[in-house]
Amino acid sequence: MSTDLNPLLQQFILEARDLLEQAGRSLLALEREPGGAEPMNALFRAVHTLKGTSGLFDILPLTRVVHAAEDLLDAVQGGRLTLLAETADVLLDALDQVGVWIDGLAEAGVLPAAAEAASGKWVDRLRAPLANADSAGAPASVAAVAAGLPAWIAVLSPAEQRSCAAMSGEDAGPLLAISYAPDAHCFFRGEDPLALTRQIDGLRLLRVEPVTPWPELDVLDPFVCNLRLHAIVAAPAAELEHLFRYVRDQIEMHPLPDGWPSDKPAADVALPDDVAALLEVLSGQQRLLEASAPDAMWEGRLGSVARVLRGALHHAGHDALAPGLESAVAAATVSGEPAPLLAYIAAQRIAALAAPAARPAHGAVTPPAQREPATPAAAEMRVAAPTTLRVEQAKIDAMMNLIGELVVAKNALAYLARRAEDGSLGVRELAREIKDRQALVNRIAEEMQTAVMAVRMLPVEHVFQRFPRLVRDIARRLGKQVELEIEGGETEADKNVIAALADPLIHMVRNSLDHGIETPEARRGAGKPPHGTIRLQALQDNDNVIIRVSDDGSGIDPDIVRRKAVEKGLLDAERAAALPDEEAIMLVFAPGFSTASAVSDLSGRGVGMDVVRSGVEKSGGRVALTSRKGAGTTVELTLPLSMAVSRIMTVACGERLFGVPMGLVVETVRVPRSALHSLRDREAFVLRDSVVPVVRLARLLDLPDEEDAADEQAILVVRLNGERLGIVVSAFREGMEVIVKPMDGILAGLRGFAGTTLLGDGRVLLILDLRELAL
Amino acid sequence: MRALVVDDATTVRMFHRGILEEAGFVVEEAMNGIEGLERALAGEVPPDLLVVDVNMPRMDGYAFLRAVRVEPALCDVPAMLISTERARMDADRAFAAGANLFLVKPVRPEALARFALFMTGAARECAR
């Protein structure tokens, strides 16, 4: 096979050969066992799949032949035609021919030139038995029309459409829709797109629109062509080809179907344009709601329609319409009838048709506020925003009680203020009273916080419950015997933490199944019981939830890890040999490392433990790994109980204060200036027998490097991606619990900051994103 | 945003994967309905979008979608069903099975990406 084919085409060639072989085999089996349902299904599926797949490539002659073969088989399957020996012969011959073309495709990357001419003959041969069998059906003709109309045509006003069509009656030439997207720099090549288009003989309609919305005048670059031209013409395609021969790649032509414009509903037009896509999506939801389906599916149908509509509105930039949607969804939920939603959809379709131009598409221009927020927590919030939480009644009651207390405490303040006003209290007494009240409000605020957090808490069980099935199925496929033990499923963690846990956990369990637990024979050989055990544990430890996945499998062999790491070029042999065993096995977390010699179907495509680690660290957690060769492996994830409130440590850099997530902080040390050594262009110091690289916060932030006179340097030691790093700051300040707000609006794109929080004195504290800053 | 592509043809899966990844989705694959359910249920967070072929061995696209719509953990996940021709006939079955969108192969890359973005509400840059 020629190697410069694109990978998709290479894959197609492999698959096509398989499918042809399968089809051939099934045909032969059918001859031996006429009417056999099994081979018939296999044959039909093979041809069907081949046709569907071939449509992805520019090999129309081949697709046409396979399509004809499929129609023939469809008639056989539908009982309209009997598969006679001669029909089977034609099929076999046709498939052989397709095989030859595939070979040609593999050689040259294009179909042999003869294919185009031969294709029609094969189609006729394949259709011959059909023509005799049923003269009524002509199923194939539909496909040609499915190509669809360009989007801009769909938004032409009916009057415009009619005006083109009325004229077309006179000279009966077929109408063509042309879209001309001139290159942005076309003016510099002396091209004049408008003049060129106007030269078309038989121009019926010309529309010119900006590719991107016109910018403000003072930033408009008049030398850049920001135009797209659409035209409907009654002219022979060959003439147009000639006229546009120098810009052929910028032209799209679509023949308009006979009888255009028709009163076809917009939904029938498969258009890759934003308005058309919105219409199509809306009409899809309408059809879904109108279709009859079992009651059991109602909730799912309604739910999915609501989600899709929310998505479509959001993507089309119509968030303002969302409240109407929500009330329609609510009405449909209450009544158990789709009518309110159908009415809403109908209104949206009219709105979308009426004002197509005013609509910015997300794909083109994204306002800054829509960009991915800088922090993972913020990203979670965005994703989680529209979802609903089911909350226990008791949790809501607890919050109601606290609100009651808060109201009382508030009234007490008014009373206190009155007493202060009428002078019946001395300053000292007043201060004491205020402190008392403050203590009360403080307690309520803390309890409120806890109560609100509790609402977001879900038992880990939510993730764990998927695993028994998963483990059973995978173990069976691997021919292993595995018992899954689950402990601590009732441990609660924040909803976002639970969500962040799912993927790493699946990966870890799959690793245990794949590489940890041995086959029953191997286990017997090692003197272990034939069935292995995987244990999933969850427990709470202060502000963290700990998830442990342990197995009693073969463990990780540090020597194999060392060898692999060296082979992968992660480090050199000398350094690898010098690593203690427990550090060597940590190499499995290194990006690009995967211990499986063959990437197994189950552990996915070569993603390894580094994905687990980065996923967990993104949520502010840590991963630890212990393993004993022959005895098993334990991976432990430590995740913050909640992502909403974070503990941070404040540090000073010159006059300024910054926050650092406490989860990253390993320790704080003060060392004499002389203890900092320069290693090439970086600094480092020795901390308990190991060398820790050092960077200066002022330099990371590009702040003026304050005078280094201080003899003692304050170093914040943090752990980033498993490595320790020292950060020189001016001073350490207190640790605190804060609610981190993601950067908003224009600041959302600012790198290096995870968010902001308000300090007690009203100042805004910037929380540093050290991963972004230091790496 | 995560999308699950359920199709028995490897080429089609590759094709759809390429388009969806380009649009910013994280893509998972399954070879048929049974595997699709398994995959979709394997994570605590179900996929944000299902891209489903009609004709597959073991469990076809209709059966898969019907199963999805009654599975509490998955029932509201947006789904597009992609068939080859005979669009009109298949479309009714598709929507009755709970598809949110019905497309006919070959789907043009930009159309697939656009629909995927519309159905999930992802902005192109956001998804990345």
Asked if A724 contacts A718 with a C-beta cutoff of 8 angstroms, the reply is yes
Q: Which of B58, B66, B91, B64 lies closest to B4 in space, CA to CA?
A: B64
Rg (CA), chain A: 35
CA–CA–CA angle A291, A296, A301 (5° rounding): 45
What mean pLDDT is predicted for residues A442-471?
A: 80
Which of A140, A293, A463 has its CB closest to that of B44?
Answer: A463
Nearest CA in chain B to A474: B38
pLDDT at B77: 92
pLDDT at B128: 34
Q: What are the chain B neighbours of A49 within 8 Å (beta carbons)?
A: 8-9, 55
Choose the weakest-confidence range: A18-32, A341-355, A641-655: A341-355
pLDDT at A628: 87
The per-residue pLDDT for range A220-250, each reduced to its tens digit, is 777 788 888 888 888 777 788 878 877 777 8
The per-residue pLDDT for range B36-75, each reduced to its tens digit, is 999 898 877 889 999 999 888 888 899 999 999 998 888 8
- Quote ipTM for the complex: 0.87
pLDDT at A707: 57
Q: Do A362 and B124 touch (CB under 8 A)?
A: yes
Q: What's the gap between Cα A209 and its chain centre?
A: 32
Q: Is the pLDDT of residue A145 over 50?
A: no
pLDDT at B67: 92
Q: Do B77 and A307 touch (CB under 8 A)?
A: yes
Number of C-beta neighbours around residue A399 at 10 A: 17
Q: pLDDT class for A618, splitting at 50, 70, 90?
A: low
Instruction: Tell me which of B69, B77, B92, B112 to substitute to probe the interface with A (most A C-beta atoms closer than 10 Å).
Output: B69
Q: Which of A6, A93, A19, A124 lies closest to A57 in space, CA to CA?
A: A6
Q: Do A270 and B103 touch (CB under 8 A)?
A: yes
| Domain A151-264 annotated CATH 1.10.10 | no
In whole angstroms, what is the distance from residue A272 CA to residue B106 CA?
13
State residue A94 phi and psi, 5-degree precision: -65, -45
Q: Do A307 and B114 touch (CB under 8 A)?
A: no
What CATH homologous superfamily does A461-556+595-640 map to?
Histidine kinase-like ATPase, C-terminal domain (3.30.565.10)
Choose the weakest-confidence range: A51-65, A340-354, A506-520, A689-703: A340-354
Q: Is the pLDDT of residue A121 over 60?
A: yes
Q: Which of A734, A726, A656, A669 lies closest to A694 in space, CA to CA?
A: A726
Instruction: Tell me which of B100, B112, B128 to substitute to probe the interface with A (most A C-beta atoms closer than 10 Å).
Output: B100
Q: Is the pLDDT of residue A585 over 50?
A: yes
Q: Is the pLDDT of residue A702 over 80?
A: yes
Q: Do B11 and A15 touch (CB under 8 A)?
A: yes
Q: pLDDT class for A149, splitting at 50, 70, 90?
A: low
The CATH fold of domain B2-127: Rossmann fold (3.40.50)
Nearest CA in chain A to B121: A311
Choose the weakest-confidence range: A133-142, A459-468, A686-695, B80-89: A133-142
Q: Evaluate the omega torsion of the peptide bond into residue A182 and state whether it is cis, within 30 degrees of 0.
A: no
pLDDT at A150: 67
Does A513 lie at the interface with B, CB-CB under 8 angstroms?
no
Q: Do B118 and A278 touch (CB under 8 A)?
A: yes
Q: Decide which of A356 and A348 is more confident.
A: A348
Under CATH, which number does the domain A645-774 receive?
Answer: 2.40.50.180
pLDDT at B6: 94
Choose the weakest-confidence range: A123-137, A336-350, B98-112: A123-137
CB contact burial A510-527 (16+ within 10 A = b; e otherwise)? bbbbbbbbbebeebeeee
The per-residue pLDDT for range A716-726, each reduced to its tens digit, is 999 887 788 99
What mean pLDDT is predicted for residues A184-205?
A: 79
Q: Do A300 and B96 touch (CB under 8 A)?
A: no
pLDDT at A533: 93
- How far is B29 from chain A, CA to nearest CA, in Å? 10
In whole angstroms, what is the distance from residue A244 CA to residue A230 CA?
14
Instruction: Tell me which of B1, B21, B95, B107 to substitute to probe the interface with A (most A C-beta atoms closer than 10 Å).
Output: B95
The number of C-alpha atoms within 13 Å of A707 and in the hemisphere containing its C-beta is 3
pLDDT at A134: 46
Contacts of A585 (CB under 8 A, 6+ apart): A556, A558, A561, A625, A627
Choose the weakest-confidence range: A177-186, A496-505, A554-563, A680-689: A496-505
Which of A281, A291, A306 has its CB closest to that of B115?
Answer: A281
Which of B18, B44, B69 has its CB closest to that of A466?
Answer: B44
pLDDT at A708: 59
pLDDT at A709: 61
Q: Do B85 and A310 touch (CB under 8 A)?
A: no
Q: Is the pLDDT of residue A372 over 70?
A: no
Which residue's entry shows tokens 């990345």?
B128
Count A/B contacts: CB-CB distance under 8 Å. Answer: 198
Number of C-beta neighbours around residue A329 at 10 A: 20
- How far is B120 from chain A, CA to nearest CA, in Å? 5
What mean pLDDT is predicted for residues A113-131?
A: 82
Does A15 lie at the interface with B, CB-CB under 8 angstroms?
yes
Q: What's the gap between Cα A393 and its chain centre?
A: 34
Which of A143, A297, A300 has its CB closest to that of B85?
Answer: A143
Q: Do B9 and A53 touch (CB under 8 A)?
A: yes
Average pLDDT taken over every residue of chain A: 77
Pick the CATH number of A7-145 from 1.20.1290.10, 1.10.3720.10, 1.20.120.160, 1.20.120.530: 1.20.120.160
In whole angstroms, what is the distance from residue A406 CA to residue A368 CA?
38
Q: pLDDT class for A598, splitting at 50, 70, 90?
A: very low
Q: pLDDT class for A534, splitting at 50, 70, 90?
A: very high
Q: pLDDT class for B3, splitting at 50, 70, 90?
A: very high
In whole angstroms, what is the distance from residue A335 CA to residue A329 CA?
10
Q: Is the pLDDT of residue B80 over 90?
A: yes
Which residue's entry shows tokens 């942005």?
A184
The per-residue pLDDT for range A159-169, each reduced to its tens digit, is 566 666 545 44
Nearest CA in chain B to A58: B106
Q: Is the pLDDT of residue B85 over 90?
A: no
Counting every residue written for chain B, the total comes to 128
In whole angstroms, what is the distance from residue A774 CA to residue A664 CA?
13
Q: pLDDT class for A152, splitting at 50, 70, 90?
A: confident
Q: Is the pLDDT of residue A764 over 60?
A: yes
Q: Do B10 and A301 touch (CB under 8 A)?
A: no
What mean pLDDT is predicted for residues A426-433?
A: 86
Q: Do B106 and A293 touch (CB under 8 A)?
A: no
